[in-house]
Amino acid sequence: MFIVLRILAAMLLAAASSVSFGASWPDRPITLIVPFTPATGIDLIARQLSASLPKRLGQSVVVENIPGASGNIGTEKVARAKPDGYTFLVTVSTLVMNRSLYKLPYDPVQAFEPVGQTSWGTLVLVTGPKNPVHDVAGLVAAAKAQPGKLTYGSPGVGTPHHLAMALLDGLTGIKMLHVPYKGTAGAVQDMLGGRLDYMFLPIHVALPQIKAGKLKAVAVGSPKRAAQLPDIPTLGEAGLKGANVDMWYGVLAPKGTPKPIIASLNKAVNEVLAAPSTAVAFESQGMVPAPSTPEQFGELIAKDDKRWAEVIKKAGITAN
C-alpha cells in the first residue's frame, strides 16, 4: 500500500510540474532550428514564425540554420535536445524520406512531438515546349515505347523531386532514366536546354519558365489544382489515384516536450498562419498555409513515413 501511495504521489507531482511548466512557458528566447541553408522555403517559414511569434509568446524567437547530410545534422540536434520547450525543428517531408535512405541515429517519427503543419509546397511536372507530349497519358505511352530512354532530372538522389517521379514510375509501370544533380539550378538549366525530358519542380521555380514558354506543365502533384495553374490537371485527375507528391512543412519538438507547451505553440503558430501577410510570404515560395492540430500533423507524418518507404523500396533507391 505504501508503494502504491508513493507511485501515485510521484504521478501527481509530475503532472503538477508539467502544468506549472506549461503555464510559465516561455520565460526565455526560443530557438527554431532549420536543417537546411538560408533562403530556402523552410528557412522562409522559420523566419516568418520568428518575426510573428514573439508578440504572441512574449519572448524572442531565433532561427538557427544547421545544414548538412540532407537535413540530418540539424534534425539530429533537435532529436537530442532537452525537451524543455526552447528548441524546435522546422522541417519538410524529407524528414521521413531520409529514414529509408540513410542509417539515422534517431527515429524520425518516435524522436519528436508534432507541433503542427505549417504549409504545403506544390510540385509540378514539366517538360520542354517542343515535346509533343502534353499530358500524363502521353508521357506513359512515350515511356513504354522507349523503356529506359526518356530522362528526368532532380536536385539529387532521394529528394522529393526524385521520389515524386519514382512514385509516378511505380504507379504507371514505366521506367525512365534518373539524372541527379547537385542542386536545382543545374537541372533547370538542362531542362531549359532540352537535355532532359521531364522533371518535377516546385511551382514557384517552374512558373516563370512556364509563363515565358520555356517549359510546359504536364500535371501538378497536389490533390487539387493549383491556383497558379488552374488549367493544368492533377496527377489524380490523370488517373493516378493517391499520387499526391506535394511536400509538407511543419514544426516538431523533441520527444517528451510537455503537452501544455505543444498546445500553446500550436495555437500561436496557427494564428500566424491565419494572417494575410503569411499567405503572401508563402506564395512567393509556392507554398500554401496549412494549419493543423498536433494530432493531425502526427497522422500525416506516420502515413508519409510508410508511403515513401514503400516507394523507395520498390524503386530500389539508395543514397549512395
Pair (134, 281) in one structural domain: no
Cβ pair 91, 273 in contact under 8 A: no
| pLDDT, position 17 | 43
User: What gap in Å lies between CA 305 and CA 317, rounded to an integer?
Assistant: 15
User: What gap in Å lies between CA 98 and CA 90, rounded to an integer?
Assistant: 16
Pair (113, 257) in one structural domain: yes
Mean pLDDT, residues 117-139 taken together: 96
Pair (105, 185) in one structural domain: no
pLDDT tens column, 33-69: 999 999 888 999 999 999 999 999 999 999 999 999 9
* Residue 72 three-state SS: helix
Q: What is the CATH number of the domain that holds 127?
A: 3.40.190.10
Mean pLDDT, residues 138-147 taken together: 96
DSSP-derived secondary structure letter, 47: H
Proportion of the chain above pLDDT 70, given as a percent: 92
Point out which residues pair with 297 in neighbouring strands: none
Which are the contacts of 214, defined by CB distance < 8 A and separation ≥ 6? Answer: 129, 192
- Is the residue at 236 inside a domain? no
Reading the block at residue 288, the C-alpha cell is: 500554401
Rg (CA), the chain: 22
* Residue 183 three-state SS: coil
Number of domains in the chain: 2
Say how many C-beta atoms besides its own lie within 10 A of residue 41's C-beta: 20
Mean pLDDT, residues 209-222 taken together: 96
Please determine, for residue 18, whether its predicted confidence score (pLDDT) is greater than 80.
no
Looking at every residue in the chain, the average pLDDT score rounds to 91
Mean pLDDT, residues 145-160 taken together: 94
- Is the residue at 231 inside a domain? no
Pair (116, 261) in one structural domain: yes
| pLDDT, position 183 | 87
Structural domain that includes position 134: 123-220
